[in-house]
């Protein structure tokens, strides 16, 4: 009798799930929304708003001057944090295979996300180390350096790319391991900025700031 009851409940759940599933929005409507968000300036506005808060926190930490012998550091992600790949995403219709994405990356023409570059310059001018931690592969180091330089970033204190050891690790595993390593080297990571939650989870930073990115998800 009890088993019959369970079977009946499961049946009801299956029916209710199918009833709830209405026709979603058309895919092109979603894509048009993504384009409008970018072209209206709201995407950049949202990023700028977060970076302003990050800058205030940097200024607070500089005023407090409580880091002792530790070297203050900022950790930045690269794609959709320091550099924008929006033009290529648009060209691919917000899709594409890994090979397509990698081919675009190799062009090394992604422009800077300006609020992030301004924060970068402020940090460097005030003696704070800036270290990139990216999910890009070690094999792409030269083109990544070339793109960062072309976009206006220079004199960074570290550029950590994904080594073979972390080839199949989630960003949420690989990135905290890299921050832990930086702390062991004597850096006090005051803030960590990224466009994915997986850039930010796992600790080893005093404060985290999440930039807008409705265009893709990485874990
Ligand atoms: Mg990113």
122: confidence class by pLDDT, cuts 50, 70, 90: very high
pLDDT at 21: 87
* The pLDDT value given to residue 69: 73
Question: 77 C-alpha to center of ligand 1: Å?
Answer: 5
Distance 64 CA to ligand 1 centre (A): 30
User: Model confidence over 195-217: pLDDT tens digits?
Assistant: 999 999 999 999 999 999 999 99
What's the gap in Å between 71 CA and the centre of ligand 1?
A: 25
Res. 3: pLDDT tops 70: no
Q: How far is the CA of 39 from the centre of ligand 1 (A)?
A: 20
Q: How far apart are the first and last CA of the chain?
A: 44
pLDDT higher than 50, residue 5:
no
| pTM assigned to the model | 0.88
The answer for 43, left when phi > 0, alpha when psi is -120 to 50, beta otherwise, is alpha
The predicted structure's pLDDT at residue 66 = 75
pLDDT of residue 111: 98
Task: Please say if the pLDDT value at position 11 is more than 50.
Answer: no
The answer to whether the CB of 77 falls within 8 A of the CB of 134 is yes
| Residue 11 Cα to ligand 1 middle (Å) | 42
What is the pLDDT, as a whole number, of residue 16?
54
Helical H runs in the chain?
Answer: 2-20, 27-39, 42-64, 86-91, 98-106, 114-125, 141-151, 171-184, 197-200
CA 176 to chain centre: 13
Residues 39-72: pLDDT tens digits?
999 999 999 999 999 999 999 999 987 767 779 9
Q: What is the CA radius of gyration of the chain?
A: 21
């Amino acid at each position: 009798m009890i088993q019959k009851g369970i079977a009946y409940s499961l049946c009801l759940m299956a029916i209710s799930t199918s009833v709830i599933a209405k026709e979603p929005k058309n895919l092109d409507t979603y894509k048009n929304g993504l384009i409008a968000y970018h072209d209206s300036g709201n995407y950049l506005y949202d990023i700028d708003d977060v970076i302003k808060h990050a800058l205030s926190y940097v200024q607070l930490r500089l005023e407090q001057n409580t880091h002792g012998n530790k070297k203050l550091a900022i950790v930045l992600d690269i794609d959709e944090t320091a550099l924008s790949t929006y033009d290529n995403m648009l060209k691919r219709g917000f899709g594409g295979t890994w090979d397509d994405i990698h081919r675009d990356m190799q062009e090394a023409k992604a422009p800077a996300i300006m609020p992030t570059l301004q924060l970068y310059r402020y940090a460097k001018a005030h003696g704070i180390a800036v270290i990139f931690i990216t999910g890009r592969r070690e094999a792409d180091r030269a083109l990544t350096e070339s793109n960062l330089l072309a976009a206006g970033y220079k004199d960074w204190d570290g550029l950590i790319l994904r080594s073979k050891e972390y080839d199949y690790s989630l960003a949420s595993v690989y990135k905290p391991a890299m921050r832990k390593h930086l702390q062991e080297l004597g850096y006090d990571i005051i803030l960590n900025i990224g466009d994915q939650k997986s850039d930010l989870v796992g600790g080893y930073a005093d404060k985290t700031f999440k930039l807008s990115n409705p265009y893709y998800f990485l874990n």
